[in-house]
Structure 1
């Protein structure tokens, strides 16, 4: 067998050369090895509704989904997704031709970009962005063009819980200037991870106008649609004029029902767009999550009281963590959506989020994520750190206590 030499061709495809082990895996392993509280990776530490878990067990026992489910997804789930979009947003989708079930939102993003991009096409994404966006654009041979959400310099009036309201904002002029003749697609995320920003109707209206004017496709990641707080409102881009036929909307059960391990997501779009995305998706997982699809169909039909209680529970946890981080000396961006709080560590005398997070487990017994991993322009994200609040209240209280002790004395 020939030996590899220093001049040998690299094993990893050059498109993925910049991507190594994700920061989530690194920091979760760090939490395990140090015994720290993991507020880094965004997964709940409790299961979702018992009746939905039992629905999955029932599907297993009844032999539904134990073999390959239909390629587009089981009819019950596709119908439930369509009914959810109609009930919540007045969006009418044909479950047979305009809904596609995927292995979570991550596959939906990858399949959409693989299907819709040609090598060299430019994709505008709002920076900071979830790390799979960059990897999926690279796999498709596209060129990512970040438009940076920038933080308020001044805090707005005090809000409930004593945490001043600061927001990361989109510069619409910068977005418009980023579009070139090579731009094929806008990749949006609202509610936005990691900043917690929820794009307003005015912002989305301008985005829609730009997409129509420049004939752009749009992929919208809306997995946190049911986690919107205070006076913010989630508005699907597909509801705006001219957007129904050019928007691929991505949803997921993991965040809303606290079953992230089931990996059930979906795409809703026009028949032509769904057919394109399915063409790529079928060569990724082909199908997945058979029995869980039946359970998620029942979950989407839960009454509004479930969604209201879920949001209220996360709101309480958001306020607990945001107040605790403020007391510990962090500057806090109080999120309008998602289950993450972004903080600025400069008031603590720190400016390097990577170094701060790698030392935090030993210093305070807590793990967080440096926001810089979500940026092309790493310097723009350097002083920001993300904490997850999708944990038990007792866990958050312990974490807050540790952080106060470590930084506030």
Structure 2
């Protein structure tokens, strides 16, 4: 097989609309033979750590904001889902991005996250009780719906101040928006997302009015106060859009981290036994989970000026796709990158991005995982996969399992 044929096959497999169960061999082909590949539609596909990191940190590369959307998808902003997405801070460039991130950032400070630790520990224990109850008579239980999703959903719900009774209502609507993004904001998925956003904004608008009358120590009240202190700082659109973002980002990344990490451990019994013996140093294990099988594998930027990447010239306006899952397995940065190694020397990975748009909730996600894994393994010494799990269908940025069936071996 020629290099060109291998590259074409790798790209075809990675972009298969049905998904790619094992992308890592294809990533390796691209890193070796085409680290900056111009696709037929003109986009540039990056697969090495150095170039991905450079793009994420360089202000000359921008997120696909409202300006980009108007130029490339005129009329898309008339859709409620797109109108909301383009007001989210992750889809804003300077100076709007810094302004929004500053307002929200106080709720995700290391001190605030540390204050949540006792509540998260109690929640983890409660969810483990529910898993055990569902595993009576040796029945299989689904780790994703029984633990990996409700844990971060509850935590971000508490942080935002969403009423407990409403949290289950929010999740499928936020997921509808995510599905539309993964399908390039087209077709029936976009129509479903439009309806979901209209319902989300109505429900969140009611909550904002309640918190305006009766402020509480939650993020909704904090953002309302910031808006009313200076009306130009946070518009109603920005407030509601970023509440949707925070709810979504607050659980999707963490749930995938938990599911991917557990699947890796259960596929390697020696790792499972070792982590049980050294659960006090869970931090490096979580970091290696993030590197080895990241919850998000793809990001995109566009060039705000003429430049080049790995010898490939880019004109202003060119779109760049960053294969974060590949960058995290780059052999030039991580020796023997396909091996899961919790003793690996610390070298920052791109699981949560880098630069100005580094994930605001990274500290929270790590904290939840560092509490969850030791508690889970201590509670269920005979935990095992009930069957080989299947990864999410379709090509998209999110990397995880729809279901992860377990046998808990409860005694």
Do the two structures share a fold, i.e. TM-score over 0.5?
A: no
User: TM-score with structure 1 length normalisation?
Assistant: 0.29
User: TM-score with structure 2 length normalisation?
Assistant: 0.29
Structure of greater relative contact order (alpha carbons < 8 Å, 6+ residues apart): 2
